[in-house]
Amino acid sequence: MMTARQTSSHFPRAITGMAAEQPPARIVIFIGAPGSGKGTQSSLLSSRYDIPCISTGMILRDEAKKNTPVGFRLRQTMASGALVDDQTVCDAVVSRIRDSYEQGKASLILDGFPRTVSQAKRLNDELKALGIPGPLVIHLDVPDHVLLQRLARRRQCATCGAVYNLASKTSKNGARCQFDGGALVERDDDSEGVVARRLTSYRRETLPVIEYFRKNDSANGIYRRIDGNLEATAIASEVCDLMRFADTAMAA
């Protein structure tokens, strides 16, 4: 059984230059293909609104490092590019949502969850049971050729998991993490063959989730697609507009 832990933002406010705002009580879901920018946008939003973020990828990577039967099984699944089973992921997320709710924090950002329709339904049931309104679902839509380019250039701090792009100034050869000086390494599952399988999983399992949320727009939460091929700051600004829109829609 995994222990509850929420990931914190890698974009301190001093760096984003944005003040914390009053957090609206809701669940925000970032959904999109691997490399679509879910992690980056989750971190930016988390800093801006001071809302905790749950990244299933990070939780599972932490768990996979452990020398336990569960850790071994996760390492194998993730290295193959497949999705981890629904039960394991749902239990981990639901326990964190409950903990957070019990601590008086109903707002959360979900990065990488749900990724299957069954996960989406379990989340829906849990939110209903807790009386939390339907989620704001933000779909980061990025063309395949851009995803492939981004994943090939993606590097991650081996210590804190902060994400870098080889094309940016901060991560030239030999550069270290600007937060903790950790080495910048390629993620095991960003290699070419594994990326192809992750994209296949995305199309087969996660595109139907997007359709599920799109059909439920207004009835149970809000669904919006954003062009994920824009600059991260432009996307973040659209996300903030959406947060304001969601506030107004909830108050109406």
User: Which CA distances in Å does 49 have to 199, 210, 240?
Assistant: 31, 25, 9
Using omega within 30 degrees of 0 as the cis cutoff, is the peptide bond preceding 133 cis? Answer: no
Q: Tell which positions 117-136 bind ligand AMP, by CB under 6 A.
A: 119
Q: Exposure pattern of 110-124 as b/e (b: 16+ CB <10 Å)?
A: bbbbbbbbbbbebbb
Q: Between the CA of residue 99 and those of 28, 63, 94, 183, 198, what are the distances in Å? A: 17, 19, 9, 33, 30
Q: Tell me the two tokens of residue 235.
A: 């996307």
Confirm whether 187 is a catalytic residue. Answer: yes
- Beta carbons of 46 and 8 less than 8 angstroms apart: yes
- CA 49/CA 201 separation, integer angstroms: 32
Q: Binding of ligand AMP at residue 29 (CB under 6 A)?
A: no
**162: contact with ligand AMP by CB under 6 A:** no
Spatial contact of 42 and 237, defined as CB atoms under 8 Å apart: no
Q: Which of 2, 54, 78, 222 binds ligand AMP (CB under 6 A)?
A: 78
Backbone angles phi, psi at 27, to 5 degrees: -100, 130
Query: CB of 41: closest distance to ligand AMP in angstroms?
Result: 13
Give min distance, CB of 79 to ligand AMP, in A: 9
Binding track over 91-120 against ligand AMP, x by CB under 6 A? ---------------------xxxx---x-
Least spacing, CB of residue 1 vs ligand AMP, in Å:
17
Identify the residue among 198, 210, 226, 239 touching ligand AMP (CB under 6 A): 198
Question: In the complex with ligand AMP, which residue's Cβ is closer, 60 or 94?
Answer: 60
Sole binder of ligand AMP in the list 44, 51, 53, 89 (CB under 6 A):
89
- Do residues 43 and 10 make contact, with C-beta atoms less than 8 angstroms apart? yes
Which residue among 26, 61, 115, 122 is the active-site one? Answer: 115
In the residue annotation, 225 being an active-site residue is answered as: no
57 binds ligand AMP (CB under 6 A): yes
Q: Which span (10-18, 56-64, 128-136, 233-241) binds ligand AMP, by CB under 6 A?
A: 56-64
Catalytic residue list:
38, 115, 154, 187, 198
